[in-house]
Each structure stands twice: as C-alpha cells, then as structure tokens.
C-alpha cells in the first residue's frame, strides 16, 4: 500500500522574514528528496508583521490537517465561549448537606468533613449534556486503545485513560506485578486485565504489548518482561467516560472515608428531586487553552467542539453534529474563505477533515487582527514553540516560530 505524506505547514514568523532565493531554494531541496516523491504538499509561510508571503506552494490543496485542526477549534471556542468560560460539574444526592465543595478528591474530602460517612446507594453519572457518540467520524478503530484516541463524553476524568504499570514478578516464568493507576490489579473494578505476560530471566528483551477489546474495559497484555528490567507503564483508554467518572468519584469517596459501593454503574438521568451537594468548576478557558494546544490534547478538542454545539442549541446534547455547523457559520461570518475545508471533528483525528495551508494562514492573520490583546495573548501563548515545548519540543528550527505543524501519513 502506497503511503502519501500529506503535509500542511502554516507558519507565521514574529521576526522579520525575507523571501529570498536562499530560503526558497532550501525548501525546494527538501521537497525534492525521495521522502516526498509521492507526496501532496501544501505550504504557505507569511510574515505576520507586514503580511508578505515568504513562500507558497500548493497552498490551495485540500489536505488532512491532523492537529492543525486545533487552531480552528481553539479559535471558535474562544470566540463563542470567551476567556472566562468554565466547565461546571455538579454532585447530587437524595438529601441535602451543608455546603458545596471542589473537584473529585476535594469534593470527597469536603463531604467527609461535613459528616457524610456512608452512602447506601451507588454513584451514578448523568453525562447527557453531550451525546453518547464517544468517538469521532473517520477515527481509525485500530487507534482506540491509545491515549490520543480517548473517548469524549459529558463527564470526563483523568483524560479518560488509565495507567497500567507492569513490573517483573519474583519467579521466572511467573506472572508480573500489575497496577492500574497506582491500584493493585485485585482492587481495580472498572477495567479488567487479561494477561499472558511472563517474567523472564535477567538479560532478556522486554516485549510487552497491549490492546483493549472494543466496546469493553477489558485490557489484554502480552509478551515478557525480564526480572532485572524496570517497570513499564502503558497509558490506555477506557470505554464510557461517564461511567468511568462515576467510578472514580466512588473511589475518591472511599479514599476520603465515605463508605459507598465501587462497583461500576450504568449512566442515566439525574432523578427528579435530587439535591445538589457539591460542584466542581474547571479552570477558565484562558488556562485550558494551554492544556489543549501545548500537548495537542485531542480530548479537549472534542469537548470544546461539543460544548460549542451545546451552547448554540441547549435543547440538544452537545455533539459534533451540533458543533461543526457553528464552526462553519463562524468562518462565514468572519469572511474567511473555506474553499477546500471540511470540518468533521475538533481534534484533527479524523481523516475526513480537510484544510488548506492558505486557509490556516488566513485564520491566523484573522486572529491577530480581530482578537483583543487579552485573547491574543492567551491564545498565542498556548501554542507550542518549536524546539522548546509541547508537541514541537523535538523540532530544531531557527528562528523559532510558534506554529502547529503536523505531517500526516494517509492510509
């Protein structure tokens, strides 16, 4: 199967750029390499200070954006939700207690301090603020176990992943020691481990592999781990973030000394007459942008897309179906040419998204010209810096532009 390298490069330079022959020649030499023989490439480099186009080739070619999609998502989220927007989560019970608390562990501690010692029922989740389609259209099913393809729901916690730690056992040929997010395998109730991993003699090669059975929380581990090896940690997605959040709250309550069943429950609607006991408020969007853009976190992209859709029509659960029209309407209203643009998700995981390098440059210039100083600073400072931080830490470009540059191999 032939692999095409689809590269969409949208860069803007904060230092004075010179569209000289040397720069163009360097780019042409790179694109002439065998790596790009079968590639479709779109590049546009613009000096943000004066608006001059430094370099351009194939800038109107519609290409899969990968994480460049986050530039669009963050722009629309900022425009529609505002810098001060927060996600609010509420905890309800059948009877009232004195006052409200903070996030999961803090909520549990606060409830315990107010005298709550036992919950005779169970902890349930109502994530109906968003739809129950936890994965995006065009996402590769083979990616589902991996952290970057985490499901997204109305309730999300721990980035909807677990950390599975595998350490060598004490007996050669015996099982390893497994912990899930710091909890012994025997004490974990949300995910189930099916392991054929064997402990081998020191000096051998570690060969661990993992998978998660689709539609379940059964994690499969295989391979071997030598006795002298250190432990290996995998970050693996869970199924159904709503139920996972309820489970994690039940764990937090138990850790705070409040007796309640930790058995996972099926999410449903909040009962009529339930009393609010506590609430949890996220950081504002101005801070969430850094958590979203610096590490290129896909979960934030989908949650923002769905929230924008929910805000546009509160009668419906937030979804990609309600969020993507808001994106399209915003671009039209701002006069940004969307030729070659298809919007399917908020993270860029979908191979059904397309953008052009020209569109991305137009979006960046638009933001610089229309954002308030406070909005621009929050957004611009949330972008990864080449060679410094985030997903561009390993890049070694000079000068160091802030950018979202993500080559994508088409399947």
Q: Residue 114 CA to chain centroid, in angstroms?
A: 35
Integer Cα distance of 163 and 235 in angstroms: 5
In sequence order, which residues have a C-beta less than 8 Å from that of residue 229 and are 6 or more positions away?
168, 202, 206
The answer to whether 87 touches 281, Cβ cutoff 8 Å, is yes
- Name the DSSP class of 259: B
Contact assessment for residue 340 and residue 40, using Cβ atoms and an 8 Å cutoff: no
Q: What angle do CA 178, 291, 348 make, to 5 degrees?
A: 90
Phi, psi of 362 (to 5 degrees): -60, -40
Cβ 202 vs Cβ 227: under 8 Å: yes
Which tokens belong to 38?
A: 């079968």
* Active-site hit among 44, 59, 70, 306: 70
Q: Of 44, 59, 67, 319, which residue is the catalytic one?
A: 67
Q: Is 269 a catalytic residue?
A: no
What distance separates the 2 farthest-apart alpha carbons in the chain? 75
DSSP 39-77: -EEEEEEEETTT--EEEEESTT--B--GGGHHHHHHHHH
> DSSP 3-state assignment of 78?
helix
User: Which residue is catalytic, options 149, 286, 296, 350?
Assistant: 296
β-pairing, 4-13 with 403-405?
antiparallel
- The strand pairing partners of 279, in sequence order, are 90
- Look at residue 187 and give its three-state secondary structure: helix
| C-alpha of 264 from chain center | 24
Is residue 296 annotated as part of the catalytic site, yes or no? yes
Does residue 399 have a cis peptide bond before it, meaning omega lies within 30 degrees of 0?
yes
Interatomic CA distance for residues 91 and 260, integer angstroms: 15
The token pair that represents 337 in the structure block: 């040419």
Contact 326, 339 (CB under 8 A): no
Selection from 180, 176, 175, 227 nearest residue 200 by Cα: 227
Q: Which residues belong to the active site?
A: 67, 70, 296
């Amino acid at each position: 199967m032939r692999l095409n390298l689809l590269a969409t490069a949208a860069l803007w330079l904060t230092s004075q750029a010179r569209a000289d022959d040397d720069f163009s020649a360097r780019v042409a030499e790179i694109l002439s390499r065998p790596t790009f023989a079968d590639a479709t490439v779109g590049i546009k480099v613009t000096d943000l200070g004066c608006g001059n186009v430094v370099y351009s080739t194939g800038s109107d070619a519609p290409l899969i954006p990968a994480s460049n999609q986050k530039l669009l998502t963050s722009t629309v989220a900022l425009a529609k939700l505002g810098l001060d927007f927060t996600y609010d989560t509420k905890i309800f019970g059948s009877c009232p207690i004195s006052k409200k608390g903070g996030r999961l562990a803090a909520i549990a501690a606060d409830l315990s301090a107010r005298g709550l010692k036992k919950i005779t029922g169970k902890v349930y989740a109502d994530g109906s603020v968003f739809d129950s389609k936890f994965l995006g259209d065009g996402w590769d099913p083979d990616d589902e176990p991996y952290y970057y393809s985490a499901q997204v729901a109305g309730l999300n916690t721990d980035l909807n992943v677990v950390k599975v730690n595998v350490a060598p056992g004490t007996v050669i040929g015996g099982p390893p020691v497994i912990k899930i997010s710091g909890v012994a395998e025997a004490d974990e109730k949300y995910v189930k481990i099916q392991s054929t991993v064997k402990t081998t003699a020191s000096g051998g090669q570690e060969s661990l592999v993992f998978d998660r059975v689709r539609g379940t929380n059964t994690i499969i581990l295989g391979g071997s781990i030598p006795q002298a090896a250190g432990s290996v940690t995998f970050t693996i997605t869970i199924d159904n973030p709503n139920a996972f959040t309820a489970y994690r709250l039940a764990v937090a309550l138990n850790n705070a000394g409040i007796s309640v069943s930790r058995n996972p429950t099926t999410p449903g609607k909040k009962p009529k007459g339930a009393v609010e006991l506590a609430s949890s408020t996220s950081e504002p969007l101005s801070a969430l942008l850094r958590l979203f853009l610096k590490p290129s976190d896909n979960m934030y992209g989908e949650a923002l897309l769905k929230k924008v859709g929910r805000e546009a029509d509160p009668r419906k659960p937030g979804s990609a179906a309600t969020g993507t029209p808001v994106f399209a309407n915003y671009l039209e209203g701002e006069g940004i040419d969307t030729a070659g643009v298809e919007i399917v998700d908020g993270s860029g995981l979908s191979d059904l998204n397309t953008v052009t390098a020209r569109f991305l440059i137009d979006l960046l210039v638009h933001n610089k010209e229309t954002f308030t100083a406070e909005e621009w600073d929050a957004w611009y400072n949330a972008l990864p810096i080449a060679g410094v931080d985030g997903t561009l830490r390993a890049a070694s470009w000079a000068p160091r532009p802030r950018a979202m540059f993500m080559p994508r191999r088409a399947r």
